[in-house]
Amino acid sequence: MLNTLTAALPNFAHTNSGQFFLMAGPCVIEGEEMALRIAEQVRAMCDRLQIPFIFKGSYRKANRSRLDSFTGIGDETALKILQKVGREIGVPTVTDIHESGEAAMAAEYVDMLQIPAFLCRQTELLVAAANTGKVVNIKKGQFLSGESMGFAVDKVRQSGNPHVILTDRGNSFGYSDLVVDYRNIPAMQSFGVPVVMDVTHSLQEPNQSSGVTGGKPQLIQTIASAAIAVGADGLFIETHPTPATAKSDGANMLQLDRLQTLLERLTRIREAVR
């Protein structure tokens, strides 16, 4: 399933070791220096462990609880930073889009377009993303089962684009928490697409009374380890040098200097499973 990504993504080196791939970076692009620093350090870790790496960063945050929440540094500014990361660090890049009109614009700067979980049923958005020819990573809605994501895959494929990834990020029951059902991984793999576990977003505690999303970062290792043991093709991990000062989702991000140890553990789990 990963061979299609190798062909569709520049600088995406698929190993023959059965290793998982990593989508990682800050929640939102906060500035050029930080984005390049994170991308460079994560690539170095992944190179040592032979983990294919895709840099993740939102150019704009559209789904915020409060009107005064940070949303970004400007669309074009952030997209140009993502483009620079891809060129200078030599890794594929991914960002999320929120409306169909954003697809063609974002596709000029990044290698993969991501559909947010709340928008995974938006037909016009999925078709617009598919029509760019880019790889489309669709996050499973918190309100859906893994089996139901086959319709989202079909919308992209029937639009003429075979390059699809599905990402799980837990299920919500409306009580300011999320629950991960690992049955969703094999269920979504049955559609013949790579399946990713979004580790950090699965640990969010949304809809807090403060209007700021909480999280349980102490469980990052638990969620990631279980996903690799079940057979996830990839992991999605938001990371930041100082999560406490991050401008978005700091409560559930992994501190950058802890990523290396986690990845080493996960590669050992994958080897043991194989």
Q: What's 142's domain CATH number?
A: 3.20.20.70
Average pLDDT on 96-102 reads 96
pTM value is 0.91
What is the reported pLDDT for 252? 75
What is the reported pLDDT for 124? 98
Return all residues near 88 (Cβ < 8 A) that are at least 6 apart. Answer: 36
Average pLDDT on 76-97 reads 97
For residues 197 and 223, is the Cβ–Cβ distance under 8 A? yes
Average pLDDT, whole number, for the chain?
A: 90
| 114: containing domain | 3-273
What is the reported pLDDT for 248? 65
Q: Which is more confident, 139 or 253?
A: 139
Q: Does residue 159 carry a pLDDT above 50?
A: yes
Backbone torsions φ then ψ of 179, nearest 5 degrees:
-125, 135
Pairing of strands 164-168, 135-139: parallel
What token pair was written down for 176? 């300011």
235's enclosing H/E stretch is strand 234-240
Q: What angle do CA 40, 274, 271 make, to 5 degrees?
A: 40
What is the reported pLDDT for 48? 96
What is the reported pLDDT for 206? 62
Q: Does residue 141 carry a pLDDT above 50?
A: yes
Average pLDDT on 66-79 reads 76
What is the reported pLDDT for 211? 47
The total of structural domains in the chain comes to 1
* Range in 6-10, 11-15, 72-76, 246-250 with the lowest mean pLDDT: 246-250
d(CA 192, CA 215) in angstroms, rounded, equals 32
Describe the crossing of helices 32-49 and 75-85 by its angle, rounded to 10 degrees.
30
Closest CA to 201 of 143, 135, 253: 253
Average pLDDT on 59-68 reads 65
pLDDT-based confidence at residue 16 (cuts at 50, 70, 90): low
Describe the crossing of helices 259-273 and 220-230 by its angle, rounded to 10 degrees.
30
Over residues 230-266, the pLDDT tens digits come to 999 999 999 998 888 877 666 778 999 999 999 999 9
Q: What is the CA radius of gyration of the chain?
A: 17
Over residues 109-128, the pLDDT tens digits come to 999 999 999 999 999 999 99
Distances (CA, A) of 78 to 57, 58, 82, 160: 9, 8, 6, 29
What is the reported pLDDT for 119? 96
d(CA 66, CA 75) in angstroms, rounded, equals 20
What is the percentage of the chain residues whose pLDDT exceeds 90? 73
